[in-house]
Amino acid sequence: MLRWRKATAAAAIVAAAATAALALTGCAADSAGSTAGGGTLTLGAIAAPTTYDVAGSEWGNRAPFYQAVYDTLLLATSEGTIEPFLASAYAYDETNTVLTLTIRDDVTFTDGSKLTADVVKQNLERFKSGTSPDAGYFAGIASIEAPDDTTVVITLTAPDPAMLNYLTRDPGLIASGEALADPESLATDPVGSGPYVLDTEATVTGTSYTYTKNPDYWNPDLQHYDNLVINVLGDPTAALNAIKAGEVNAIKLATNDNLAEVEGAGWTVNSNELDFQGLLLLDRAGTMNPALADVRVRQAINYAFDRPALLSALQNDHGTVTEQVFPETSAAFDASLDDTYSYDPEKAKELLKEAGYGDGLTIAMPSTPLLGANTFTLIAQQLADVGITAEYTDPGNNFIADLLAPKFPASFMALEQNPDWQLIQFMIAPNAIFNPFHYADPKVDEMIVTIQSGDEATQDETVKELNKYLVEQAWFAPFYRVQGSFPSDANTSVTMMPTNAYPAIYDIQPKG
């Protein structure tokens, strides 16, 4: 649900793609067998941070690297709520355009400097103008003021129902004010107020990151271990080998291909369903491919796919078939919409014929082995069965860049199902990053305005109406929500986040 003062948990807004294979070079997890805290927690991640400078930070699968050394202004919990953190209190005015944060006065950074409202202001302004792919989250901020040492006032140009969510993730990370003066050093040697401190001498950039417990941490209840190691293991075989060898305590898996072997090793598979996979039918105005401007063509594409068969073939049934981009946790979600387009090739052919494409059509799309070669083969086969030719081009490392340029009218993609307003701003609004043709529908735009400015009941009602309209108009062709898997060993307890690929490091604890 949309909330102004207590919103759903923050989501990471990232495209899901596996990273290149990286070998494990860190030490074995010496916390194995520990059940009373202390020791070392060794984690596996599929993507390394590109920088530790908060102005260029990211979230999703890179979140643990940042959570180890920095704190956020607000805290997203595994229960789906937003709680105070570095900001001990927060409230909007009656217009929902002025957000006032009360900043803690008992927090010290690892360089000995103090957390103040001015330091928060500097961090927020740097993020807004920085290089993070999420810098656009702050596009609606008109001003940031620090009238005293413990107060920050954020003024928005218009209501933003996702702002509290944003402050629980990378836009809300706060670095030392003194460290901000040397961004080049901050990029590799982070200075925050977080539960751990990066040991740069024991760290191998891109491969293995070692942290030691921050002895002066303001919130010691969140420090469950004396040391933390995060190894980058994007290759599924390397991840499985690390599990079998006991070289990690818990790990994010890039795929679900080896879950049987993981469970056979005595590990618990913790999971959530965060990403949906399917086709993005981006060129809805037909500027690049006129056929996609016809709703009947987009509906035909939806009828062309045998979603249960795709889930079985590509994900070994680890997921849930869906035809909507909003998640189950959303007020927009309607289970009945998942029966809108049952697999019906004949219906697809009829719609194509009605639209004037009875002899077939061709749709150019990008492909990449990082999202699975079999995926693109099966998509092409199912489209071909109804008379649509998928004309693939592999843009290499430019897959995302070319998709957003935009150079393709449609594409297979794996994207996170975010909380309502974030999802709207991510892939539905005319300026959304995954609406690269800036397609606008007057009915959709009217609903977006209502959702942005309405009260809670109006927001919930309207976002449900929006979801139904998007499914009927076939803006997308989702296949399924895929299971995200985070196995842990017998000595480690993990609580997953409902809307982030990687659990919070605070929610990974020794069993006892």
Residue 189, judged by CB atoms within 10 A of its CB (0-12, 13-18, 19+), counts as middle
- Residue at 178 is within a domain: yes
The least confident of 378-387, 403-412, 415-424, 501-510 is 415-424
- The pTM for the full model equals 0.85
Question: CB neighbours of 334 closer than 8 A, spacing ≥ 6?
Answer: 324, 464, 467, 468
- Indicate if 478 and 502 belong to the same structural domain: no
- Indicate if 280 and 424 belong to the same structural domain: yes
pLDDT number for residue 5? 28
- Indicate if 231 and 307 belong to the same structural domain: no
User: Which pLDDT band holds residue 4 (cuts at 50, 70, 90)?
Assistant: very low
Mean pLDDT of 480-496: 97
- Cα-based distances in Å from 25 to 160, 257, 435, 462, 472: 44, 23, 40, 51, 50
- Residue at 6 is within a domain: no
- Cα-based distances in Å from 450 to 354, 446, 460, 463: 35, 6, 10, 9
For residues 402 and 319, give the distance between their C-alpha atoms in angstroms, rounded to a whole number.
28
The least confident of 301-310, 350-359, 493-502 is 493-502
Q: Write out the two tokens for 100.
A: 């006032």
- Indicate if 175 and 302 belong to the same structural domain: no
- Cα-based distances in Å from 12 to 162, 167, 498: 12, 12, 11
Return the closest-CA partner of residue 325 out of 357, 382, 278, 369.
278
- Indicate if 107 and 253 belong to the same structural domain: yes
Q: Write out the two tokens for 386.
A: 């109804």
User: Which pLDDT band holds residue 37 (cuts at 50, 70, 90)?
Assistant: low
- Indicate if 286 and 314 belong to the same structural domain: yes
- Residue at 121 is within a domain: yes
Q: Write out the two tokens for 108.
A: 């010290």
- Indicate if 479 and 493 belong to the same structural domain: no
- Indicate if 346 and 373 belong to the same structural domain: yes
- Residue at 136 is within a domain: yes
DSSP classification of residue 457: H
- Residue at 11 is within a domain: no
394 is in which domain, residue-wise? 274-483
- Indicate if 223 and 367 belong to the same structural domain: no
Residue 18 has pLDDT above 70, yes or no: no
Residue 418 has pLDDT above 90, yes or no: no
What is the tally of structural domains in the chain?
2
315-327 confidence digits (pLDDT tens): 999 999 999 999 9
In the chain, the percentage of residues whose pLDDT exceeds 70 is 93
**If you write DSSP's letter for every residue of 340-351 in order, what string do you get?**
SS-S-HHHHHHH
Mean pLDDT of 267-295: 97
- Indicate if 398 and 435 belong to the same structural domain: yes
- Indicate if 322 and 240 belong to the same structural domain: no
CATH code, domain with 357: 3.10.105.10
CATH code, domain with 139: 3.40.190.10
Residue 31 has pLDDT above 90, yes or no: no
- Give the sign of the dihedral formed by CA 35, CA 30, CA 49, CA 15: negative
Q: Note whether 494 and 56 are within 8 A (CB).
A: no
- Residue at 26 is within a domain: no
